[in-house]
Structure 1
């Protein structure tokens, strides 16, 4: 059965799209027309603009397009959402925000204290991965997925902790560099290890784990997060198998595999970038005079 029966609003989230457009306009206004009102401000770079627009496009695809609806029907689609939302998008947002805006935010004492505490490498690492793992405990997962407000709060908090986790790795502020060189590489490996148990639980489970993808009543309740209950009542649907061509267990295992694969690809790309940046820095700091063969410091 086609998901088009849920209607345009459920498929394309027009209000969410308008909100993202307004936020994008606000970003450009703040970083161009009104930046002169802030001391120390600098014009955003083309790279920052590209990353912010990419972030907004991805946010709409993940939370506003039919993929969001599919995330309530297919567990594999849900895991793709999770991987992109928490592993791909936070670093894009962090880098896309100009340094002068970050510095203005850090002048707010409460923001500075909270952010400085939760972006300590060990704390940022543990808090995000624990919240992510707790989310996929079947009992908690089904409870969160069937309550609109709890789901909104938990996933928002999880996104904020993902920003905390990524900040020590990708932020461009010299005064906020808490990790350097090999420590960043170790941090990435630690992230990969801590995320593995949640993926393993899903991949190697012998039975369906989540009622919101297997039990018709729980699934119908979870669908109310993106489809008006009045619309669902008139459709008389028996369960997600009407829209999902994959057997339930195959879909569940595919979700775990996709999460792990996307995680490995993202961390691999970041690891390569960090390693070569560290390697170049080490070479520049220890240059060799070609005539004397002696080392001299880089300018």
Structure 2
């Protein structure tokens, strides 16, 4: 059914050229403009590229459109954007530019504040849970720029969250384990809400009018299509989708943060 539905969308709707251009610009800056030792490891460059490809998959591929039809794909977006891309970007990023910037006192203070583990932790989870309040989520999904604002803000917050976990510059092994476990515990409540709530939390997946408005954000001419097509776009049980999303988020964060927890002692401050 999903394949039949997607056939109705234009290629330019399924693949976001704007996101691709932005990521292409980031690659140009990363490979040609950022200062770094000539011996910078190839594997780190590959890791950064994979992280940015995960961002594109989340925001610029058909996953972004399907996420407006199936809630489980919204969770897949979150997994790619918040759990896969940030650690890869942090591991692969060329940090020499920040080291140079920190020689300037004001930048040193800004970076020093933003890279505090507690700042990244609080920023991320305040944004994450605020975005997923039903009224906020429904409102954000009806506006292209507001939704992208939340998504990109979460990506940046995700990078701040992952920095103390995958970098050796911030925490020792014991504190890193504690920080990672707390991160896991703070993800769990939302997963449980998705699993245990009786009925769909979000009207953009159940109310036909709001659903159509949500799709119109990325497909402006959808209102010109016959009502039968609109009805065909809602073949998925929203409660089941919500439960699948909860399971996906719970398992994904346990696996990915579990991997980070296993490697934490090897890449810790003071080692």
Superposed displacement of residue 125, structure 1 = 1.5
Moved more, 41-50 or 62-71: 41-50
Contact preservation (8 Å) 2:216, 2:223 = no
Contact preservation (8 Å) 2:90, 2:166 = yes
| Structure-1 separation of matches of 2:193 and 2:44 | 38
Corresponding position of 1:16 = 19
Report matched runs for 1:199-210 at 5 Å. 199-210=191-202
Q: Normalised by the size of structure 1, how large is the TM-score? A: 0.81
Superposed displacement of residue 119, structure 1 = 2.6
Q: Paired residue for 1:164, among 137, 146, 160? A: 160
| Structure-1 separation of matches of 2:171 and 2:229 | 48
Please state whether the residue corresponding to 2:180 is helix, strand or coil. helix
Contact preservation (8 Å) 1:115, 1:164 = no
Q: CA RMSD in A?
A: 2.3
| Structure-2 separation of matches of 1:63 and 1:115 | 27
Aligned length: 266
Corresponding position of 1:59 = 55
Corresponding position of 2:185 = 193
Q: Paired residue for 2:37, among 42, 54, 59? A: 42
| Structure-2 separation of matches of 1:170 and 1:271 | 9
**1:82–1:105 CA distance, 2 compared to 1 (3 A):** farther
Corresponding position of 2:210 = 218
Q: Normalised by the size of structure 2, how large is the TM-score? A: 0.89
Corresponding position of 1:2 = 5
Superposed displacement of residue 18, structure 1 = 3.3
Please state whether the residue corresponding to 1:5 is helix, strand or coil. coil
Corresponding position of 1:259 = 249
| Structure-1 separation of matches of 2:180 and 2:5 | 40
| Structure-1 separation of matches of 2:209 and 2:26 | 37
Deviations 1:85-143 (A, max 9, x none): 01111111112112312313434555433332233222322221122112111111111
Q: Paired residue for 1:80, among 62, 71, 76? A: 76
Q: Paired residue for 2:95, among 84, 94, 99? A: 99
Corresponding position of 2:240 = 250
Gaps of 5+ in 2: none
Higher Cα Rg, which structure: 1
**1:149–1:109 CA distance, 2 compared to 1 (3 A):** farther
Deviations 1:129-188 (A, max 9, x none): 12211211111111111122221222222221111111122235xxxx231111100101
**1:11–1:18 CA distance, 2 compared to 1 (3 A):** same
Kindly indicate whether residue 125 of structure 2 is the aligned counterpart of residue 129 of structure 1: yes
| Structure-2 separation of matches of 1:139 and 1:50 | 39
| Structure-1 separation of matches of 2:15 and 2:205 | 22
Contact preservation (8 Å) 2:48, 2:90 = no
